[in-house]
Chains A and B, each alone.
Chain A
């Protein structure tokens, strides 16, 4: 597996099936990161850099952008398979805020696998991102990844992937 940080390492070729859990990965955020993310995306919303404004809005500090949550989910969803895999869909729903400096832990479970043509397959992952301060879920999501079929667990002869 890759030695890169920020990607789950639990999945192994030939093992994926509905119910397979990927190792959780923790993403440390910071005020500097949230600022750079706003700068890189030209996001001028004060909630991400103006602490007084965030306090006046009822939050304990500046907030992590919803797309930064999305970037963590996208990275998590495909990191384990590397360049062999391709993220085809990502849906996410922001349920609670996270403040800059929060540690966000993403976990994922395979909910479905299906075989496609030409030795390819599709895996659906259910994703959740929790914040360290109280363990509450900030974001839930679902990802679809297209990858070589040999990542899936062996099927009984004539069997089809769970869908």
Chain B
């Protein structure tokens, strides 16, 4: 299977169809691990007392943590993973498990307010558009989708992200 009209039509049928998911609580451990992974020793990310002294309710997540987490659940069983190791994710339903490569192309993020540990996050996702392009390695689909991340507690906006994903 490769990029073809069926895949294009299948994806386009989902444009505008929203999908809402509760992602769970952002824990202090998750924030600290993310900060360690990116190599950032900012105390705001790891030291609760320091974060409180700076006016935050708890440790603060680095700006793109929410957008960077690929899978918020436990992950699919091994037999349901795609050949590239990813799972058929909710952003791209209908993309076959084999024969299509998925690559990140870019992202536009708007940070509405800092995310602190203890925040329960709800994400709504919408497929914005799908366009077909010819690349040097054959036909390619450019898919854009939008994720809105909100605080479950009061519905306030945390982060908006528009991602571009390339399929070929």
Q: Give A residues with C-beta under 8 Å from B.
A: 4-6, 27, 33, 36-37, 39-47, 50, 53, 57, 65-68, 70-72, 74-75, 78, 83, 86-94
B37 lies within 8 A of A39 (CB): yes
Task: Give residues 79-116 of B contacting A (CB, 8 Å).
Answer: 81, 84-87, 101, 104-111, 114
* Residues of chain B contacted by A36 (CB below 8 angstroms): 33, 36-37
B54 lies within 8 A of A45 (CB): no
In the bound complex, how far is the Cα of B75 from the Cα of A101, in angstroms? Answer: 28
A66 lies within 8 A of B75 (CB): no
* Residues of chain A contacted by B4 (CB below 8 angstroms): none
* Residues of chain A contacted by B41 (CB below 8 angstroms): 4-5
Q: Give B residues with C-beta under 8 Å from A.
A: 30, 33-34, 36-42, 44, 54, 62-64, 67-72, 75, 81, 84-87, 101, 104-111, 114, 164
A126 to chain B, nearest CB (A): 15
Question: What would be 12 A-B contacts, judged by CB atoms less than 8 Å apart?
Answer: A33-B37, A33-B39, A36-B37, A41-B37, A46-B84, A50-B85, A68-B37, A71-B68, A75-B62, A78-B63, A83-B44, A88-B111
A66 lies within 8 A of B62 (CB): no
A88 to chain B, nearest CB (A): 6
A44 lies within 8 A of B70 (CB): yes
Most-contacted residue by chain B among A36, A41, A89 (CB, 10 A):
A41
Residue of B nearest to A28 (CB): B39
A92 lies within 8 A of B106 (CB): yes
**Which residue of the partner chain, among A6, A33, A37, A45, contacts B85 with CB atoms under 8 Å?**
A45
In the bound complex, how far is the Cα of B65 from the Cα of A68, in angstroms? Answer: 10
* Residues of chain A contacted by B34 (CB below 8 angstroms): 40-41
